[in-house]
C-alpha cells in the first residue's frame, strides 16, 4: 500500500443536513440501503452544550476485517487504500456483515449480496471527489490522504476502542466545539 | 445527447440558488450548483437534490382535471380547451350578472417567486378591476420596521458577513434555512470572529455557534433595549450618531427611565450579567453584524422588536459598517414592470392575504364568486381554515394551478397543471443576496403542463374569442421575449448590462454597494436614522422603538406553539421522499411529566380553533412553556397544522407591504390524550 485515502469530517462545519447521504443514494440507485448515515451526538456539560453530527460510511480501514474474514476473497484493498467489494465474487454469506465493527457492509435485499461504500473509486480515478464530498455544502466532509495529516489535532469517534485497534479505520474527526450556554 | 442549462431555484428561500441542470436525450438527470455564483458556490441544499425526482414524480399532475364534487376527489381528466372555456364562460357570466369584474379574485404568492409568475396578475389586470390578496404571510412587520428606521429595508451583501468580528444570529436558523450562508459564517470564524446565536431553543445553528443565548419568545425587543441601555450607561454609543440620526436624546431618555435591567432579565430569561456582557462585547467589537430572522417578528410586537434591534445596531455605530449592520433582507432587485391597467380602469379590491377568507366573506356588493389560487396553498397555510371552507361554499368556481394535488386543490373545481422551473423561461432575484438571473427551460413540459404565462395568454385569447375586447392582456407571446421585456433600462443599469439579451450569459450580481447605508445617508423623510419616526406615529404606532409585550398564553392553552421551518420543506412544499402521516410535537421532558405522557406516545394538541393529533418527542433545550412542530408536509388525510391557527395580525406591515403580517408565533395550545383513545 502506497497511501491511504480516508474521510475527514469537521463536526464544527457539519450541519447534519444530509446532503452527503442523499448524494450517495441518488448516485447509487442499485442499492436500496444507504451506505452513508448520520448519527447525532448530544451532550450537556457544566460549561455548555454540544451537538454534532457524525456522517459515516465505510471507513476503508488499514486492516479491513471484512477482507480478512471473507471466504470468497471478494474484498480487496487498492494501492490508494480504498477497500473494494466485488459483487461478482460475493456469495452473500454475511461473514463481513457480522465481522465489521462499524456495520459498513450490509446485505442488499435485491441481490442477496453484501454491499458498501466503494468510495466512488471510479470518480477518484478520474481525479474527482466522491459524491458525498462533492455534495457537502459547507465542505465539512473531505477526502484526504491520511498519512499526510497532523493526527494530533484529530479525534476518533467512530466506534468502541477494540474495533479501532483491530482495524485502524481511515477516518478522522476534528474536535467538536462546546457551545457556551447560560447557567440556569 | 447531453446538454446543460441554467436555472434559478424559485423557492421562497434566502439562498435563491443558481443551478445548472444536465439533460440526456431531453430528460433531466441531475441538478448542481453553479460554481460561478459567489453565494451558491457550486453546491445545492438537500432539498434541491430531490428536484429530479420531484419533476418526474408520479404524484405530479400532468393534465387539466375537473373535480365533480369538491373535497370528494372524484377528479376526471379534461382538455385545456374545455378548462379554458369553463373559466372564460364563468368570467363573462359573472361580469354580466354583477356588472363588474370584482367577483373575480386572485390569491397568489410565493410558490414560485419567478417574475414571469406575475403573469396571473397581468391577466387579471387585463380582465378589469378584480379582487386581490395583498401583503405577505412572512416578513411584513420587519419590513415596515426597517422602513421606519432606515427609510427602506436593505441588507448588506451577505458575503460581507465574512468580514465581521462578531456575528449575532438572532432568531434565524441558516443551518436549516440558508445553508449557503454557513460557509460565510465559518469563514468569519476561521478569521477569529465570535458567533452568538439568540433563539428560543437550541437550533441547528445554535449548535454551530460559539455561544447560545436563550430568549423567551416575544421578548427579543426588550433584550435589545436592555442592551441599548447598557451601551448608553457605559458610554459606548457611537460619538458620530448625533450627526446622522433623529430622536437620539428622546430614545436614550426612554432607555434610562423605562428600561430596567433586572426586570428585563426576569422577562427575557437572559441574566442581567449576561445582558451586560453581551452589550459590552457588541459595543466594543467592530465590525459586528446582526442577522435578524423572520420568526422574531411573527408576534403582535414583531415590528417593535425589529425597531429595537435596529436601534441597538445604530447606538453601537454598526449601521453602515463593513461587516456590520442589522441585516434582514431586501427588495432592491425586484423592481420589474407589471402589466399596466388600461387607462381609467378603476382600482382593484384589495384583501389582506392573512385574513383573506374573513375579508372575502365580508365583501359587500359584488360578492366574491370566482377564486384562482396560483403559487399558493391557503387551505394548508392560512389561518381561519373554517372561514376558508365557508368561503369555498359561496364560490361558483375555484381554480388551482399547481404541480401537485395540494390541500387547496381538494377544494377546487378545476386543476391546471403547471410547469417546473426546468420547463419554462423565467427571471429571478433573491431577497438576501444581490444576484439576478435567467431561468432557461431544459426539458419539454411534462404531459400537458403549461407555464403561468402560457395559461394567462391562452385564457386571454379564449376570453376575446367569446367576447371581443373582454381582456386587454395579449393572447400570445414568447416567454423568452417576456423575460427581455422585464430587463428595463433601470434593471440593465442595476445589473451593469448593455442590452436585455446579455442576461442570457449567466446570473449577474446587481451593482449595488456591498455595504448598506455606508454613507449613513438614509431614505427616511429626515435623511437620518430615525429613532423617532413621525411616520410610525402617524400610523398610530409609538414614535420610538419601545417594549410592548407579546401575548401571554391563556389559561386554557398554556403552551406557545412555534413552527420554525424544517430543513426539508418550505411551507407546504416538501422535499421528503415520503410524507409522514403525523406531526411530531417537541416539548421539554418536564412537560411530558406534567401531562403524564411518555416519549413517542400519541397525543392531541388543541385550542379553540381546532385539534391536531401529534406524536410526542422530547428536547431538553425547549423551555417548559413552549411546544415546537417543524412543519413538514402531512398526508392528504391529515387535518393539517393550521387548524390551530387564528389570523392575528402583527403590529406593523400595512404601510410597507399593504397588510399587517401574520403573528403566527402567538398560537397557544393545550395537550391531552387523543379523544378517540381517551376516556
- Which residues lie closer than 8 Å to A183 by C-beta, 6 or more apart? none
CB contact under 8 A, A49 and B621: yes
Among B266, B288, B265, B287, smallest CA distance to B276 is for B265
Closest-CA residue in chain B for A12?
A: B208
**CB within 8 Å: A177 and B210:** yes
Q: Which residues of A touch B180 (CB under 8 A)?
A: 137
Q: How far is A130 from chain B (nearest CA, A)?
A: 14
DSSP H or E segment with residue B232: helix B220-233
pLDDT at site B190: 97
| Count of CB pairs separated by less than 8 Å, A with B | 81
Q: Find the residue in A nearest to B175 (Cα).
A: A15
Q: Give the closest residue to B430 by CA, choosing from B11, B141, B6, B32.
A: B11
Q: How high is the pLDDT of residue A171? A: 87
- The pLDDT, as a whole number, for residue A164 is 67
Buried b / exposed e along B548-557 (16+ C-beta atoms within 10 A): bebbebeeeb
Per the CB < 8 A criterion, the answer to whether B182 and A137 are in contact is yes
pLDDT digits (tens, 9 = 90+) for B108-154: 999 999 999 999 999 999 999 999 999 999 999 999 999 999 999 99
- Name the grid cell of B277: 456582557
Domains of chain B: 2-55 (2.20.25.90), 65-137+333-338+355-509 (3.40.50.740), 140-328 (3.40.228.10), 559-672 (2.40.40.20)
Instruction: Mention every residue, 6+ apart, whose C-beta is less than 8 A from residue A150.
Output: none
Find out whether B34 and B19 touch, Cβ atoms under 8 Å.
yes
Residue B400 in contact with residue B67, Cβ under 8 Å? no
Question: How many alpha carbons lie under 13 Å from residue A129 in its C-beta half-sphere?
Answer: 15
A19·B208 Cβ contact <8 A: no
Unique residue bearing C-alpha cell 436500496:
A32
Please list the residues that pair with B105 across neighbouring strands.
B131, B371
User: Which range marks the domain in which residue A46 is found?
Assistant: 5-180
From first to last of its 184 residues, chain A has per-residue pLDDT tens of 578 999 999 999 999 999 999 999 999 988 888 899 999 999 999 889 999 999 999 999 999 999 999 999 999 999 999 999 999 999 999 999 999 988 999 999 999 999 999 999 999 999 999 999 999 999 999 999 987 766 655 666 654 455 666 788 888 888 899 999 985 5
Rounded to whole angstroms, the Cα distance separating B632 from B583 reads 8
Tens-digit pLDDT profile for residues B420-445: 999 999 999 999 999 999 999 999 99
From residue B595, how far is each of B599, B609, B672 by CA, in Å? 11, 21, 7
Chain B residues whose beta carbon lies within 8 Å of the beta carbon of residue A19: 43-46, 49
**Best residue of B46, B173, B197, B223 to probe chain A, by most A CBs closer than 10 Å:** B46
- Asked if residue B460 lies in contact with residue B471, where contact means CB atoms within 8 angstroms, the answer is yes
Q: Does A15 contact B179 at a Cβ distance shorter than 8 Å?
A: yes
- Measured in angstroms, the CA of A39 and the nearest CA of chain B are apart by 14
Query: Do the Cβ atoms of A135 and B214 come within 8 Å?
Result: no
C-alpha to C-alpha distance for B64 and B416, rounded to whole angstroms: 5
CA distance A118 to chain B (A): 21
Would you call B325 exposed, middle or buried from its count of C-beta atoms within 10 A (0-12, 13-18, 19+)? buried
Choose the closest CB to A49 out of B50, B182, B202. B202
Q: Minimal Cα–Cα distance from A133 to chain B, Å? A: 11
* B274–A23 C-beta distance less than 8 A: no
**CA separation for the pair B131, B604 (Å, rounded):** 38
ipTM confidence score: 0.94
Task: Say how many C-beta atoms besides its own lie within 10 A of residue B23's C-beta.
Answer: 17
Helix (H, G, I), strand (E, B) or coil at B369: coil
- Which of A42, A48, A179, A183 is most worth mutating to test chain B (most B CB atoms within 10 A of its CB)? A179
Of B113, B37, B35, B652, the residue nearest B333 (C-alpha): B113
What pTM, to 2 d.p., does this model score?
A: 0.96
How far A109 CA lies from chain B's nearest CA (Å)?
20
Cross-chain Cβ contact A181/B49 below 8 Å: no
How close is the nearest chain B Cα to the Cα of A50, in Å? 7
Nearest by Cα to B136 from B666, B657, B562, B563: B657
Comparing C-alpha atoms, which of A81, A60, A85, A63 is closest to residue A72? A85
CB contact under 8 A, A17 and B175: yes
* Closest Cβ–Cβ partner in B52, B207, B211 for A180: B211
- Can you give the CATH number for the domain in which A25 is found? 3.30.70.20
Residue B33 near residue B40, CB atoms below 8 Å: yes
Residues in chain A closer than 8 A to B213 (CB atoms): 182
DSSP assignments along B115-172, one per residue = GGGGHHHHHHHHH-S-EEEES-SSSHHHHHHHHHHHSS-----GGGGGG-SEEEEES-
Q: What is the DSSP string of B1-52?
A: -EEEEEEE--SSSS---EEEEEEETTEEEEEEE-TTSTTTTT---HHHHTHH
Stretches in chain B below the pLDDT threshold 70:
577-579, 633-637, 676-679
Tell me the three cell numbers of residue B670: 393545550
How many angstroms away from the CA of B585 is the closest CA of chain A?
Answer: 19
Report which of B226, B180, B228 is spatially closest to residue B35, judged by C-alpha positions: B180
Could you tell me the CA-to-CA distances from B627 to B184, B212, B355, B387, B662 in Å, in that order? Answer: 31, 19, 25, 26, 19
Q: What pLDDT does B678 receive?
A: 41
Q: Residue A152's pLDDT is what? A: 57
Give how many domains chain A has, as a whole number: 1
Amino acid at each position: 500500500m502506497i497511501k491511504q485515502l480516508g474521510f475527514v469530517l469537521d463536526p464544527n462545519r457539519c450541519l447534519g443536513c444530509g446532503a452527503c447521504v442523499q448524494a450517495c443514494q441518488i448516485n447509487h440507485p442499485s442499492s436500496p440501503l444507504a451506505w452513508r448515515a448520520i448519527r447525532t451526538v448530544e451532550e450537556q456539560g457544566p460549561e455548555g452544550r454540544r451537538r454534532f453530527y457524525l456522517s459515516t460510511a465505510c471507513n476503508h480501514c488499514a486492516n479491513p476485517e471484512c477482507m480478512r474474514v471473507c471466504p470468497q476473497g471478494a474484498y480487496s484493498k487498492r494501492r490508494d487504500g480504498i477497500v473494494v467489494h466485488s459483487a461478482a465474487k460475493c456469495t452473500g454469506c454475511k461473514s463481513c456483515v457480522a465481522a465489521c465493527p462499524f456495520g459498513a457492509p450490509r446485505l442488499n435485499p435485491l441481490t442477496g449480496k453484501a454491499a458498501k461504500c466503494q468510495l466512488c473509486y471510479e470518480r477518484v480515478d478520474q481525479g474527482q471527489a466522491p459524491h458525498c464530498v462533492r455534495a457537502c455544502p459547507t465542505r465539512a466532509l473531505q477526502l484526504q490522504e491520511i498519512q499526510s495529516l497532523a493526527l494530533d489535532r484529530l479525534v476518533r469517534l467512530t466506534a468502541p476502542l477494540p474495533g479501532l485497534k483491530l482495524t485502524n479505520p481511515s477516518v478522522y474527526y476534528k474536535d467538536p466545539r462546546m457551545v457556551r450556554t447560560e447557567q440556569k | 445527447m447531453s446538454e446543460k442549462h441554467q436555472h434559478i431555484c424559485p423557492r421562497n428561500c434566502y439562498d435563491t440558488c443558481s443551478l445548472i441542470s444536465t439533460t440526456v436525450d431531453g430528460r433531466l438527470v441531475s441538478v448542481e450548483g453553479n460554481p460561478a455564483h459567489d453565494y451558491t458556490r457550486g453546491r445545492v441544499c438537500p432539498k434541491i437534490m430531490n428536484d429530479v425526482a420531484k419533476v418526474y414524480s408520479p404524484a405530479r399532475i400532468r393534465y387539466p382535471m375537473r373535480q365533480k364534487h369538491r373535497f370528494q376527489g372524484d377528479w376526471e381528466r379534461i382538455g385545456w380547451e374545455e378548462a379554458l372555456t369553463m373559466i372564460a364562460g364563468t368570467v363573462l357570466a359573472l361580469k354580466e350578472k354583477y356588472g363588474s369584474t370584482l367577483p373575480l379574485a386572485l390569491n397568489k404568492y410565493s410558490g414560485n417567486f419567478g417574475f414571469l409568475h406575475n403573469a396571473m396578475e397581468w391577466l387579471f389586470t387585463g380582465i378589469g378591476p378584480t379582487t386581490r390578496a395583498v401583503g405577505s404571510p412572512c416578513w411584513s412587520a420587519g419590513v415596515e420596521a426597517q422602513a421606519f428606521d432606515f427609510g427602506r429595508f436593505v441588507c448588506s451583501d451577505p458575503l460581507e458577513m465574512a468580514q465581521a468580528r462578531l456575528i449575532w444570529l438572532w432568531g434565524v436558523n441558516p443551518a436549516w434555512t440558508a445553508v449557503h450562508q454557513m460557509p460565510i459564517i465559518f469563514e468569519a470564524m476561521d478569521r477569529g470572529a465570535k458567533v452568538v446565536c439568540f433563539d428560543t431553543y437550541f437550533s441547528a445553528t445554535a449548535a454551530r455557534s460559539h455561544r447560545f443565548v436563550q430568549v423567551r419568545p416575544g421578548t427579543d425587543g426588550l433584550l435589545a433595549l436592555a442592551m441599548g441601555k447598557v451601551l448608553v450607561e457605559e458610554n459606548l454609543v457611537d460619538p458620530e450618531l448625533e450627526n446622522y440620526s433623529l430622536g437620539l436624546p428622546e430614545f436614550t431618555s426612554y432607555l434610562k427611565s423605562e428600561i430596567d435591567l433586572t426586570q428585563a432579565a426576569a422577562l427575557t430569561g437572559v441574566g442581567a450579567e449576561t445582558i451586560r456582557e453581551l452589550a459590552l462585547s457588541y459595543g466594543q467589537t467592530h465590525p459586528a453584524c446582526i442577522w435578524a430572522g423572520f420568526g422574531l417578528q411573527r408576534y403582535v410586537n414583531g415590528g417593535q422588536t425589529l425597531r429595537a434591534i435596529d436601534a441597538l445596531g445604530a447606538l453601537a455605530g454598526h449601521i453602515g459598517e463593513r461587516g456590520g449592520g442589522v441585516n434582514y433582507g431586501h427588495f432592491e432587485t425586484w423592481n420589474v414592470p407589471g402589466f399596466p391597467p388600461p387607462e381609467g380602469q378603476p382600482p382593484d379590491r384589495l384583501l389582506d392575504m392573512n385574513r383573506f377568507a374573513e375579508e372575502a366573506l365580508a365583501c359587500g356588493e359584488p360578492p366574491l364568486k370566482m377564486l384562482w389560487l396560483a403559487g399558493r396553498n391557503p387551505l394548508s397555510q392560512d389561518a381561519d381554515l373554517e372561514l376558508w371552507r365557508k368561503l369555498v361554499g359561496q364560490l361558483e368556481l375555484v381554480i388551482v394551478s399547481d404541480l401537485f394535488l395540494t390541500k387547496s386543490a381538494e377544494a377546487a373545481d378545476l386543476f391546471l397543471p403547471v410547469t417546473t422551473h426546468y420547463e419554462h423561461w423565467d427571471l429571478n432575484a433573491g431577497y438576501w443576496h444581490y444576484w439576478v438571473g435567467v431561468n432557461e427551460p431544459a426539458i419539454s413540459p411534462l404531459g400537458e403542463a403549461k407555464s403561468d404565462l402560457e395559461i394567462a395568454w391562452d385564457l386571454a385569447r379564449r376570453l376575446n374569442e367569446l367576447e371581443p375586447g373582454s381582456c386587454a392582456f395579449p393572447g400570445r407571446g414568447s416567454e423568452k421575449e417576456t423575460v427581455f421585456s422585464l430587463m428595463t433600462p433601470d434593471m440593465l443599469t442595476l445589473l451593469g448590462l448593455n442590452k436585455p439579451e446579455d442576461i442570457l450569459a449567466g446570473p449577474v450580481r446587481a451593482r449595488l454597494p456591498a455595504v448598506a447605508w455606508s454613507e449613513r445617508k438614509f431614505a427616511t423623510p429626515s435623511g437620518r436614522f430615525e429613532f423617532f419616526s413621525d411616520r410610525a406615529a402617524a400610523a398610530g404606532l409609538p414614535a420610538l422603538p419601545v417594549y410592548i409585550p407579546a401575548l401571554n398564553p391563556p389559561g386554557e392553552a398554556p403552551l406557545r406553539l412555534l413552527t420554525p421551518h424544517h430543513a426539508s420543506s418550505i411551507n407546504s412544499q416538501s422535499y421528503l421522499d415520503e410524507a409522514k402521516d403525523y406531526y411530531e410535537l417537541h416539548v421539554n421532558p418536564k412537560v411530558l411529566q406534567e401531562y403524564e405522557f411518555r416519549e413517542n406516545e400519541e397525543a392531541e394538541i388543541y385550542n379553540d380553533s381546532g385539534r391536531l393529533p401529534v406524536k410526542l418527542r422530547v428536547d431538553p433545550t425547549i423551555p417548559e412553556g413552549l411546544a415546537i412542530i417543524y412543519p413538514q408536509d402531512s398526508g392528504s388525510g391529515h387535518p393539517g397544522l393550521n387548524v390551530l391557527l387564528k389570523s392575528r395580525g402583527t403590529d406593523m406591515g400595512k404601510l410597507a407591504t399593504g397588510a399587517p403580517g401574520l403573528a403566527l408565533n402567538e398560537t397557544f395550545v393545550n395537550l391531552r390524550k387523543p379523544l378517540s383513545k381517551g376516556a
